[in-house]
Amino acid sequence: MAVADGGFRALDEKSLIEYIRATPALSSLLGDDLRALTVKEVGDGNLNFVYIVISSSGGSIVIKQAIPYIRCIGESWPMTKERAYFEALTLREHGRLCPAHVPEVYHFDRPLSLIAMRYLKPPHIILRKGLIAGIEYPLLAEHMSEYMARTLFFTSLLYRSTSEHKREVAEYCGNVELCRLTEQVVFSDPYKISQYNHWTSPYLDQDAETVREDDILKLEVAGLKSMFCERAQALIHGDLHTGSVMVTTDSTQVIDPEFAFYGPMGFDIGALVGNLILAFFSQDGHSDNGKDRKVYKQWILKTIEDTWNLFHKKFISLWNEHKDGNGEAYLADVYKKPELWFLVQEKYIKDLFHDSLGFGAAKMIRRIVGVAHVEDFESITDAERRAYCEHRALEFAKMILKERQRYDTIEQITSALQNIPS
């Protein structure tokens, strides 16, 4: 067990059990007999250690510990373990706003950067793995649109006063290292030579170079990066890809908000939609095990449409419901005329749609030519076939990033996806 700064020590399975025994808030959740605890490390993300702890009496918890570097890279890339503080804070805040889709936090230990939270039992799996397996989740769009509408609306100036907003913005400025990481891996590295970038070589060598040489693309990315750094629109999850969602056919749970901060709403919506589009493009790499993916691709497109359209509807409903509340952005006294109220909302949503498309496209690009790739593609073992899927996804993302202002509806996007020639 490593001993580090300010009382921090990285736990292993043995010391974790000792910690649980010594912590009543946890031991009480696991029942009387703590001798027979099963501990399993399951962290498959890029950053942290995650343990499932199950007691013989049937109690269960998940323990997540942040370590002071990026797990998938190693100690050579230090990363503040304070990210766990912002993760716990956000799980609690988003959980308060949308308890149906955020796991409960039982306990947070700041010196240890340790969060204990509800164990999402089987058959919960990571959404990305479900998408690779070709499983349909009929409630996914409904649930994710609910989560995004509630967490984004209630933490924006549409609902909050300026005073509450600035207090929260100030607090989350502390999560700067994670913001910097996003800036680097999403908005910078893919557009320059970087030791961390990789791609399916040699097939995509030319594609990667083309991204680095595309002036118009890089001009658009600059605008998105500025928005990411400067615009405190709402408390966003900050990493809302399909690996941050756990699902069953009737449950959807958003996890891992350690990148949370006050940023542009479109960054969350775009992350989800962009990753669904990656899943769409990856299907051609998964269609050969005797299972045709044509129907599944249609389900993905329908889910993309429903996610945006339901988000739009729910977000506007919340706004209408709270139009006489504390929110200071659009005072009812100024915008009370129904036609104007409609006009204001329409403009807000249109801008948000374009932001979401831009961020979504940027998130797609970085998953193909940047440091961290997605299992949707990585699990396609035939490199040439993988490169074919990735190339098509990359071309689509570049087009959307550059021409997103031309699109007004999500159906225009799914229709464009539908009509890409093989």
C-alpha to C-alpha distance for 114 and 7, rounded to whole angstroms: 12
Rounded (10°) angle between helices 383-403 and 338-369: 150
Task: Establish whether the linkage from the previous residue to 123 is cis, with ω within 30° of 0.
Answer: yes
Cβ-contact 190, 211 below 8 angstroms:
yes
Q: Does 372 bind a copy of itself (CB under 8 A)?
A: no
Cβ-contact 270, 363 below 8 angstroms:
yes
C-alpha to C-alpha distance for 33 and 265, rounded to whole angstroms: 45
Q: Does 192 bind a copy of itself (CB under 8 A)?
A: yes
Q: Does 193 bind a copy of itself (CB under 8 A)?
A: yes
Among residues 117 and 179, whose Cβ is nearest to a copy of itself? 179
Provide the strand spans (E) within 56-195. Answer: 60-65, 69-70, 74-78, 105-109, 114-117, 125-126
Q: Does 295 bind a copy of itself (CB under 8 A)?
A: no
- The secondary structure of residue 43, as a DSSP letter, is -
Q: Which two tokens stand for residue 154?
A: 């209630």
Q: Does 350 bind a copy of itself (CB under 8 A)?
A: no
- Identify the burial level of 138 via C-beta atoms within 10 angstroms of its C-beta, where 0-12 means exposed, 13-18 middle and 19 or more buried: exposed
Among residues 192 and 291, whose Cβ is nearest to a copy of itself? 192
Q: Does 121 bind a copy of itself (CB under 8 A)?
A: no
Q: Which two tokens stand for residue 111?
A: 């010196």
Q: Does 404 bind a copy of itself (CB under 8 A)?
A: no
Binds a copy of itself (CB under 8 A): choice among 91, 112, 126, 179: 179
Tell me how many residues contact a copy of itself (CB under 8 A): 45
Q: Which stretch binds a copy of itself (CB under 8 A): 37-45, 184-192, 272-280, 375-383?
A: 184-192
Could you give the string, one character per residue 88-117, with x where binding to a copy of itself holds by CB under 8 A and - elsewhere?
------------------------------
Binds a copy of itself (CB under 8 A): choice among 12, 136, 142, 183: 183
Which residues of the shown chain bind a copy of itself in the complex (CB under 8 A)? 157, 162-163, 165-167, 169-171, 173-174, 176-177, 179-180, 183, 188, 191-193, 215, 218-219, 222-223, 225-226, 229-233, 328-331, 333-335, 337, 339-340, 343-344, 347
